[in-house]
Homo-oligomer: A and B are copies of this chain.
Amino acid sequence: MSKNVDIKRAKILEVAKRRFAHFGMAKTTMAEIAKDLSFSKALLYYYFPDKNSLYTAVLEYVINEMINKVDTYLLKAVSVERAILFAIESRMELMRENYNLFEYSTSLFMQNPGEMGKSLGPFFDRVRDQFVRILDQGVRQGEIIVDDIEETAELLLFSLMGMRTGILSKDLNDCLFPTPGEFELILSKQKKMVSIFIRGLRA
């Protein structure tokens, strides 16, 4: 009866996601999640070994949704630029909707990359791999020329990340994570970045 187990796992994930997205990892206790579900706290530990695992499971769940959505879009065989733009818009939307969920993971990178970093790394790779697919598609269609696709995808990702950190350090908000208002600005910079990344500046 692994069916029932899966359903329960999904329920937990769903409730935990809501809590994490709203209050963040730090301000959410296992007891609260259990209460929301009318489960016992101990049951959560039956399904997930610890809080971090639950958190990363939620993260994975949410990121998968996004990745899949973008992959679906890619089937339409649009231009590389449109594909990338769709990807970064989707990502931005995701982060806006699950604000505190990502806020925590971001601030983690800063303080204690060793421990949590290992579990966050894979998600990073997922996004990069999607860029690889996008670029690959563009190369196939003769739209772009890329030497090392893997590395170029990473470069693209890094440069887009740079827009975020750049904006954040200029704005002097309390750093770490963009305020809702900054999302728009970051996205707009990223769009311009994509354009240059594809076309270059050369006359």
Report A's interface with B, CB cutoff 8 A.
80, 109-111, 113-114, 117-118, 121, 124, 135, 138, 142-146, 151-152, 154-155, 157-163, 165-167, 169-170, 172-176, 189, 192-193, 196-203
Smallest CB-CB A-B distances: 10 pairs: A162-B162, A200-B200, A158-B166, A159-B159, A144-B201, A113-B172, A117-B172, A158-B162, A199-B200, A161-B162
What residues of B have a CB within 8 angstroms of the CB of A166 in the complex?
A: 154, 157-158, 161-162
CB distance B172 to A118 under 8 Å? yes
Copies of this subunit:
2
22 A-B interface contacts by CB (under 8 A): A80-B201, A110-B110, A110-B176, A118-B172, A121-B172, A124-B169, A124-B170, A135-B201, A143-B203, A144-B202, A144-B203, A155-B163, A157-B166, A158-B163, A158-B165, A161-B166, A162-B162, A162-B166, A165-B165, A198-B202, A200-B200, A200-B202
A114-B200 in contact (CB<8A): no
A19–chain B nearest beta-carbon distance, Å: 26
Q: Is the CB of B197 within 8 A of A198?
A: no
Q: Which chain B residues lie closer than 8 Å to A199 at the CB level?
A: 200, 202
Minimal beta-carbon separation of A173 from chain B (angstroms): 7
